[in-house]
Amino acid sequence: MLLGIAICFSAAFWQYQKSVFYQAPVAQSLHMQGQFINEFNHYLDNQTLNGKVGYALITPFQYEDKFYLVNRGFIAYEDRDTLPIVPPVIGTVKIDGILKQHHKPLLLNNNLQDPLANRIQFVDEKYFSSLLGQSVSSEIFIQQSGHGLLSPQPQKSSYLSHHRHQAYAVQWLLLGVCGIVILLIASLKRGNAHA
């Protein structure tokens, strides 16, 4: 019973933290001038746009002394066995977009290797940091205009708002309180029975 109560309170705190996260600013607009690292283009799999299937092109970008991963937009494919060809963006360019917090998805097995070397199932800044030999920002830059932009993808709103997470937190909290009440009543009854 105590374990169940502890789980309920832990789940309530977890849902409360998620509600706080959803209330935080989601993104900030940013203008950057720097260089794309074209040799490290990667294709984020399982993307759709206007009924077409394809990839989001992820390219490292050097801005001042920092490296960012830029989502340059959507590119469709005709054949799953070959990656689309994207012309390199040469020289110093200006790009505009939004910088968003990025969180690696929960995966059962993140060691799976794609048969195509530059096709990825999720964005992992540690992987790109090892490729570049430089630290890469944990935030991802969603390009909206400027050189190298493909077809911009509309930004998806989160399915769960902070209000829902707050409601879940209250539910878990109430379950934990109910557990304490039941435990107290059971203890009192057992004490009376022994008396």
Domain count, the chain: 2
Is the CB of residue 39 less than 8 Å from the CB of residue 133? no
Is 154 among the domain residues? Answer: no
From the list 77, 164, 71, the residue with the least C-alpha distance to 122 is 71
Q: What confidence score (pLDDT) does residue 189 get? A: 81
Is 29 among the domain residues? Answer: no
Q: What confidence score (pLDDT) does residue 106 get? A: 55
Same domain, 80 and 12: no
Q: What confidence score (pLDDT) does residue 30 get? A: 86
Residue 186's domain comprises: 2-20+161-194
Give tens-digit pLDDT for 75-128.
999 888 899 999 999 999 999 999 887 766 555 555 556 668 899 988 989 999
Same domain, 58 and 9: no
- No. of H helices and E strands in the chain? 3, 7
From the list 113, 131, 162, 158, the residue with the least C-alpha distance to 58 is 131
Same domain, 141 and 172: no
Is the CB of residue 125 less than 8 Å from the CB of residue 138? yes
Q: What confidence score (pLDDT) does residue 195 get? A: 60
Q: What confidence score (pLDDT) does residue 37 get? A: 95
Same domain, 15 and 46: no
Q: What confidence score (pLDDT) does residue 190 get? A: 80
User: How many CB atoms sit inside 10 A of residue 146's CB?
Assistant: 17
Same domain, 61 and 132: yes
Confidence (pTM): 0.66
Residues of the chain below pLDDT 50 = none
Same domain, 122 and 41: yes
Is 75 among the domain residues? Answer: yes
